[in-house]
Amino acid sequence: MNTYHLLGRTGLRVSPIGLGAMTFGQHGWGADETTAREIFTEYLDAGGNLVDTAVSYAQGRSEEMVGKLIAETKSRDRVVLSTKFSSFTEPGNPNAIGNGRKNMLAALDTSLRRLGTDYIDLYWLHMWDTVTPVEEVMSTFDALVRGGKVRAIGLSDVPAWYAAKAQMLARAHGWEPVAAMQLEYSLAQRGIEREHVPAAQDLGIGIIPWSPLSSGFLTGKYNRVDGIPAGSGRLGVPPFDGTSAVLPPYTDQQWDLLDELRAVAAETGHSPARIAINWVTRRPGVTSTLIGATSATQLKDNLAALDVELSAEQSDRLEKVLRPELYQPYLMFDRDFLKRAYVQSFEVKA
């Protein structure tokens, strides 16, 4: 990775693939400390610099591991350290969860201690709680940047209108602007293309996708049995039944996409995972793409996605299978629709 991208409209530069440390310290499907160390070292050696975690990952073990590995490698100045607040739970304390100022400040202090640092490069709201005023969130973010504890701010898993309101409030008040949005995005999950991607591009917000392999679905290691994925990994472990908001059921169209992905992978000699990650990294508005490896071998295979070159025909085959369906009012803004409707009046240009 010898190419770095500016993070939104900031001076921070991040590698095109970021290391998601959600797997660090997770039992069952994650990476223990020895494996995490191998992954972390391999990532730095490959030129990666964006490391992403959260106060809630693995009940805090993820942040603790990341802090220990950064200290061991003396890489704090090199790494763009990213963490999130919202899910900082403390039994019996109703203010230890959500987007409010009290929880944000408490979670940040906890993250700084675990990570062994006095500042966070990119601090995220982890998930919209539906109740805290956006004014409270943005004014607190601004105070943290002015106080030197945070360098840049981001919004993860929020509605597009919320991100737009946050950015316009920042502009109106002279507050720190939103640098990035972290959202699920993959060949199998493309809903953000309707609102989030255009909003981000217009407002100067970078997009950092999570789960570019759709929770492992796009690795090609799962087969369909009685309508659900079967195989080794999270999706193939009972009682997965598609009822989770994070792991929804896979549709016939998504299984068709997987067949096409496997075909393209066979034609190119690359793994399905490489093809899928490559597709996300090249999408409009994407700044860096987070991958969550569970071994150094898996990480190396995923990093090789940056070297994949697909033909225009292969790219088109993958793109059209799950292109988001247009419905009103989006149908009226479709370029092909406008060309048909106004061909006598003007030419619609890209």
**Is residue 266 exposed (0-12), middle (13-18) or buried (19+ Cβ within 10 Å)?**
exposed
Task: Note whether 34 and 203 are within 8 A (CB).
Answer: no
Choice among 4, 57, 123, 185 that is catalytic: 57
Ordered DSSP codes for 52-84: E--TTGGGGHHHHHHHHHHHHHT-TTT-EEEEE
Q: 15: how many CB neighbours lie within 10 A of its CB?
A: 23
CA distance 182 to 52: 11
Q: Are strands 178-184 and 206-210 parallel, antiparallel or unpaired?
A: parallel
Task: Note whether 180 and 206 are within 8 A (CB).
Answer: yes
Instruction: Give the angle 131-214-234 at the CA atoms, nearest 5°.
Output: 95
57 is catalytic: yes
CA distance 286 to 182: 10
Q: Which of 154, 141, 133 is nearest to 108 (CA)?
A: 141
CA distance 186 to 183: 10
Task: Note whether 216 and 233 are within 8 A (CB).
Answer: yes
**Is residue 209 exposed (0-12), middle (13-18) or buried (19+ Cβ within 10 Å)?**
buried
CA distance 337 to 13: 38
Q: Which residues are catalytic?
A: 57
